[in-house]
Amino acid sequence: MEKKNIDWGNLGFGYVQTDYRYVSDFKDGSWDEGRLTKDANVVINECAGVLQYAQTVFEGMKAYTTEDGRIVTFRPDLNAERMENSAKRLEMPVFPKDRFVQAVIDTVKANAAYVPPYGSGATLYIRPYMFGSNPVIGVKPADEYQFRVFTTPVGPYFKGGIKPLTICVSDFDRAAPHGTGHIKAGLNYAMSLHAIMEAHRNGYDENMYLDAATRTKVEETGGANFLFITKDNKVVTPKSGSILPSITRRSLVYVAEHYLGLEVEEREVYFDEVKDFAECGLCGTAAVISPVGKIVNHGQEICFPSGMDEMGPVTRKLYDTLTGIQMGRIEAPEGWIQEIK
Ligand SMILES: *Cc1c(COP(=O)(O)O)cnc(C)c1O
């Protein structure tokens, strides 16, 4: 297969249209057989449920080329499962898990020419999503839905080397207790846009959100979970019903325990203890781990000993091990790597 003529190392994180996408329609209570199409446009009624009442959920994952030249994805079954939970919370039909995984495989395979080569740092980002497509004006769930998967090649997250982030404690809340913070829905992002733009205007890379009820506990950022490292090398990650269960974070916890022999605590983390941690990182599909160098809370700075130039040593080990597993340099736990062939 001939790769597309793309300058992989200089790709940003933007939409680049690829040749094929997957579509399946839900109508009269069932999903159709689904198909790949070259048509990148979605045509829906002006009153579609997604446009009026934001009935939409999504996933984000990656395909990449391993050291030995295979095209793989990472734990797509967990994305399928998470989308199932997201759909149920928004009264949407579930797209069956095995069909989700197959749709991802079929879409990546059809766009194999866009999967960046090993070593480029670039990857093929995969976006499965689902939305209410028929007209809905009274507030209720749609009757018809579309499940789609598209792909777009994206560049290395950190161009020119990893750079620790400066984040600020947001005065806005991301998710309410008993709300929708634990599902991957566009609605959680729509309301975070103002908060992230404010953070950027004030010179910060990201927002740290606190729990909405007491504003004393660490939740997550707009799109990544927190991992902290204590001074005695324990991994600590916040536990809360309104955090989105990051697959990267869950995988890093496993790597910490089973590959690196580190102790892990998943528990409530009070903002007051953050100043005592040695390292801090943000976990998500996009960057795997982004190191955090500094957290600012209304002018008060917490500077981690790892500094503003490099990842802390434990964060680095976690990062190297997980990316090693993903790229086929380190043996993966059973079922983590889905080969596309
Ligand atoms: C997608 C997402 C994450 C990261 O999840 P991964 O499965 O690791 O990519 C974290 N927080 C939020 C709010 C998200 O939407």
Q: What is the pLDDT of residues 123-170, one digit of tens each?
A: 999 999 999 999 999 999 999 999 999 999 999 877 777 899 999 999
Q: Residue 55's pLDDT band (boundaries 50, 70, 90)?
A: very high
- The secondary structure element, H or E, covering residue 61 is strand 61-65
The pLDDT assigned to 26 comes to 98
Q: Atom 5 (ligand 1): residue with closest C-alpha? A: 246
Whether 251 lines ligand 1, by a CB cut-off of 6 Å, is: no
Atom of ligand 1 nearest to the CA of 248: 8
The pLDDT assigned to 158 comes to 76
Whether 107 lines ligand 1, by a CB cut-off of 6 Å, is: no
For ligand 1, pick from 123, 209, 246, 336 the residue to mutate: most ligand atoms within 8 Å of CB: 246
Q: Atom 1 (ligand 1): residue with closest C-alpha? A: 223
C-beta separation of 323 from 285 below 8 A: no
Q: What are residue 225's DSSP bridge partners?
A: 220, 283
Q: Atom 14 (ligand 1): residue with closest C-alpha? A: 223
For residue 308, give Cα distances in angstroms to 162, 165, 271. 10, 8, 21
Interval between CA 139 and ligand 1 midpoint (Å): 28
Q: Residue 48's pLDDT band (boundaries 50, 70, 90)?
A: very high
Q: Which residues are known catalytic residues? A: 184
Expressed in angstroms, the distance from the first to the final Cα of the chain is: 12
The residue with greater pLDDT, 163 or 95, is 95
Q: What is the pLDDT of residues 272-282, one digit of tens each?
A: 999 999 999 99
d(CA 24, CA 247): 25
C-beta separation of 58 from 128 below 8 A: yes
Instruction: Name the average pLDDT for the chain.
Output: 96
Atom of ligand 1 nearest to the CA of 249: 8
Beta carbons within 10 angstroms of residue 298's beta carbon: 7
Mean pLDDT of 246-259: 98
Query: Does residue 70 carry a pLDDT above 90?
Result: yes
Mean pLDDT of 245-254: 98
Query: Does residue 53 carry a pLDDT above 80?
Result: yes
Interval between CA 5 and ligand 1 midpoint (Å): 31
For ligand 1, pick from 174, 183, 225 the residue to mutate: most ligand atoms within 8 Å of CB: 225
Q: Atom 12 (ligand 1): residue with closest C-alpha? A: 223
Interval between CA 19 and ligand 1 midpoint (Å): 26
